[in-house]
Amino acid sequence: MQTLEFLAVSITQEINLNQIALHFGINKKYKWEDILILKEPELKGILKEAEEKTVYCFYFGCLVGINCTKYDLSDIYNYLCQIDSGIDRKPDHHKYSEFYRLQIKENSQVEVHNNYLVAPKNLDFYPKIIAIVLADQLPLIELKTA
């Protein structure tokens, strides 16, 4: 049985995906509806163990890590703060989070539950859909007011 664990955190109001993509040598112009996906090659310099890990970055301030711990996402958050000056450093950057699990069991039926999905095989679109739904469910970070 293969298991993918998803952890989503809301870290800021907005992430400059274009600035972050350029930092990683990704030459694509991102629009508000696009998702920046960081995989093992990009994560190697940030995480001690980057194997089989992926991070989805959403313009509206959410990160969704696959097989990432809260410490991994904290390291990624700190790294992104160095690239995007619009991300405020705060000690409670992982205050809002959600968890989900995708379990692949051969010869099983698709089962959708509140906190996990069971499927007979890992279809390419499952991780992206789960990441989008998790990110969309997180509350947005409140703006600072003077």
Q: State pLDDT tens for residues 91-143.
A: 666 678 899 999 999 999 999 999 999 999 999 999 999 999 999 988 765 54
Confidence (pTM): 0.90
Please, are residues 76 and 63 in contact by the beta-carbon 8 Å criterion? yes
Q: 140 is written with which tokens?
A: 């947005």
Interval 77-98 mean pLDDT:
84
Q: In degrees to the nearest 10, what's the CA dihedral of 44, 46, 51, 56?
A: -110
Please, are residues 82 and 27 in contact by the beta-carbon 8 Å criterion? no
